[in-house]
Amino acid sequence: MKYASEIEKRKTFAIISHPDAGKTTLTEKFLLFGGAIQTAGAVKSNKIKKHATSDFMEIERQRGISVATSVMSFEYKDKLINLLDTPGHKDFAEDTYRTLTAVDSVVLVIDCVKGVEEQTEKLMEVCRMRDTPVIIFINKMDRDGRNPFDLLEEVEKKLSIKTQPLSWPINMGRDFKGVYNVHNHSLLTFGAHQKATDEDMVKIPDLSTPLIEELVGKKDADALREDMELIMGVYESFDKEAYLAGHLAPVFFGSAVNNFGIKDLLDTFIQIAPSPKPRMTDKREVTAEEDKFTGFVFKIHANIDPRHRDRVAFLRICSGKFERNTFYHHVRLDKNVRFSNPYTFLAREKNVVDDAYPGDVVGLFDTGNFKIGDTLTEGEVMTYVGIPSFSPEIFKELINNDPMKTKQLEKGIRQLTDEGVAQLFTQHGGNRKIIGCVGDLQFEVIQYRLLQEYGAACSFKTLPFYKACWIQGDATKVADFVRYKQANVVNDKEDNLVYLAESEWYLNTERTNNPAIKFFITNDYKHELA
């Protein structure tokens, strides 16, 4: 347990939300509290504009900038917080899913007017797969939103997680008066002080005190007492273990843009959020406290500027101490590698680091040695698992427009898919190449990069599939299925069999007709189709 105090200090997490719910604004407020930025707007200017769907070059340019904000590390009280950024644009959702494999917990932002939205559900599904602890922040309370009880009910139903309010709003919209902190019995009024400090919180001896009338008026004081009576009747005292197991989500209400309710959220976060957790490899579970260094690559960022062909591989440290200029074992390639300029991201500056600890993320310059999921160790042969590929949503056939450049095209598409830009499938028993992505934008990115970086011109032909399922089961039955459904069966890059379904109806029909075959939504065969 050489590094116990370093490990205990670290909280590695991500803020996730449906676009527009307030992720960027909340990130910024956290960084302000952590002293990592001095002015509001500093993060926002780096944000990928979510509506700029037509101009992918601009998006890539901004993605370039966003390397610097991929990991934002800051100190708050006695903790070291690593906040991993996730792209707001829905076409980069797969980047977000992968980033979620590198965090120990998440804060989920929900817009109180819109409630649970499509992307919220998808992100939560990924969190549930890994039992990631979730804290929910219900944002934009300064707007006329939905009734908070209804919101909690919707969250429980749509996100399949139990909730427990740790703060409670007093009205909303124009009449928003503030929040009552359920666990430490204090009240923070909205308006006068938007940089809430500890002194702004008024301690409430008990809910019958006339102090509440003084602070928010009779009508709202009565409403708060009524709400609290209901809440106390429904919820038991906060069960931290249930939160850490990913079964219970504490809920906070506030307004990110007004910096309201954020400090309370952050203070609770550092108290309850987990420090680096144990992680599974294909051989055994590794705890953060082990002396020997291990880590895995969860994201690769390529520079689209053709003058700079370098890539950055993001390595999450899982155990031991990572040191600069030290040889580590690259398990997949079975070779030793070392890094002279690994960097971290303290206070939004890229700094070369000499050492890093579990929970930290370091950026490694890469010339093509890494792919997503690669593991580094001090020699032990094992690979971190649980960094699965998820089913893409759009499928297109890759058409080679220049037969003289076939080799370049093949190499290019392999490298780009190693980076996780898209998934590559090959027709079973044939040679047709099918690319699967989450968003249309990636196809433009691929086309552009294949031409710029590999000199290979290509185009795409849209295919009518909507989902990919990895299939497994009785060998004879699978072989029969493959023969019968040949037009729909492809191989992924690891040669696994994948069924491409045209619609939910087809998928359900095939499942019913083939009870001996299992259909999985991830390539690690861990998550069966619901």
Write out the residues near ligand G4P by the rule CB under 6 A.
17, 19-25, 44, 50, 88, 139-140, 142-143, 255-258
- Choice between 204 and 256, CB closer to ligand G4P: 256
Among residues 28, 26, 45, which one has the least CA distance to residue 37?
28
How far is it, in rounded angstroms, from Cα 56 to Cα 63?
10
Closer to ligand G4P by Cβ: residue 23 or 527: 23
Least distance between ligand G4P and beta carbon 189 (Å): 16
Kindly tell me which of 259 and 400 has the beta carbon lying closer to ligand G4P: 259
Residues for the chain: how many in total?
530
Task: Determine the straight-line distance between the first and last CA of the chain, rounded to whole angstroms.
Answer: 41
3-state secondary structure 460-492: EEECCCCEEEEEEECHHHHHHHHHHCHHHEEEC
Q: Are 369 and 297 spatial neighbours (Cβ–Cβ below 8 Å)?
A: no
Is the Cβ of residue 142 or residue 360 nearer to ligand G4P in the bound state? Answer: 142
Quote the CA–CA distance of 497 and 485 in Å, as a whole number.
12
Question: Which token pair is 214?
Answer: 């003084």
Q: How far is the CB of 25 from ligand G4P (least distance, A)?
A: 3
Nearest CB to ligand G4P, comparing residues 111 and 220? 111
Q: How far is the CB of 87 from ligand G4P (least distance, A)?
A: 10
Q: CB 441 → ligand G4P: shortest distance, Å?
A: 16
Q: How far is the CB of 17 from ligand G4P (least distance, A)?
A: 5
Q: Angle of helix 56-66 relative to helix 441-454, nearest 10 degrees?
A: 80
Do residues 141 and 176 lie in contact, with contact meaning Cβ atoms separated by under 8 Å? Answer: yes
> Closest Cα partner for 267 from 292, 282, 250?
250
Q: 7 vs 48, which CB is nearer to ligand G4P?
A: 48
Least separation in angstroms between residue 77's CB and ligand G4P is: 24
Which residues does 375 contact at the CB level (< 8 Å), separation at least 6?
Answer: 281, 294, 295, 296, 297, 330, 331, 332, 382, 383, 384
In the complex, minimum distance from the CB of residue 28 to ligand G4P, in angstroms, rounded to a whole number: 8
Note the helical H segments in 130-216. 148-159, 211-216
Closer to ligand G4P by Cβ: residue 262 or 331: 262
